[in-house]
C-alpha cells in the first residue's frame, strides 16, 4: 500500500512561491499517476493537477498559469510549485495517488500552506 508524506514551508508571503514535496513509499511509483488536491479551511476539494511518471502533466485551467508539477522517480518524490500566491491560496494541500480507473486512491495526511505577510 502506498504511503504519501507532504513536506515544505508552512508559511509563504503574498506574491511569493509555494513549494511542496511529496515523498512516496510502500510501492513502486511506476504503478500510479500522481495529483495534488487542496482544501481551504471549511471548504471543498479543489484539484490542482496530475503528473505521470513520464513527466506529462495536466493542470486545472483556473490555476494553470501559476502551477508547475514535477516528478523525480530516483528520489520517489513529486513536487508542486505555485507561484504568485495570495491569501486565497491558503489551504491544506494533499498529495494523492491517481489510479488508472480515474479515482484518487491514496491520500497523504495533508500539509497546511498559509499565505500571509
Please spell the DSSP secondary structure of 44-84, one letter per residue: --EEEEEE-TTS-EEE-TTTGGGEEEEEETTTTEEEEEE-S
- Nearer of residues 16 and 46 to another protein, judged by Cβ: 46
Contact 18, 40 (CB under 8 A): no
- Nearer of residues 50 and 91 to another protein, judged by Cβ: 50
User: Distance between CA atoms of 41 and 61, rounded to whole angstroms?
Assistant: 22
Q: Is 40 in the site for another protein (CB under 8 A)?
A: no
- Nearer of residues 108 and 113 to another protein, judged by Cβ: 108
Letters for 71-100 (x = contact with another protein by CB under 8 A, - = none) are: -----------------------x----x-
Amino acid at each position: 500500500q502506498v504511503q504519501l508524506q507532504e513536506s515544505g514551508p508552512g508559511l509563504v508571503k503574498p506574491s511569493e512561491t509555494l513549494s511542496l514535496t511529496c515523498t512516496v513509499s510502500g510501492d513502486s511509483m511506476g504503478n500510479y499517476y500522481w495529483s495534488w488536491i487542496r482544501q481551504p479551511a471549511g471548504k471543498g476539494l479543489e484539484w490542482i493537477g496530475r503528473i505521470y511518471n513520464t513527466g506529462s502533466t495536466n493542470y486545472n485551467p483556473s490555476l494553470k498559469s501559476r502551477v508547475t508539477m514535477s516528478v523525480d522517480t530516483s528520489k520517489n518524490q513529486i513536487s508542486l510549485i505555485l507561484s504568485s500566491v495570495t491569501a486565497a491560496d491558503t489551504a491544506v494541500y494533499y498529495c494523492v495517488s491517481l489510479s488508472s480507473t480515474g479515482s484518487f486512491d491514496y491520500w497523504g495526511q495533508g500539509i497546511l500552506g498559509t499565505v500571509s505577510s
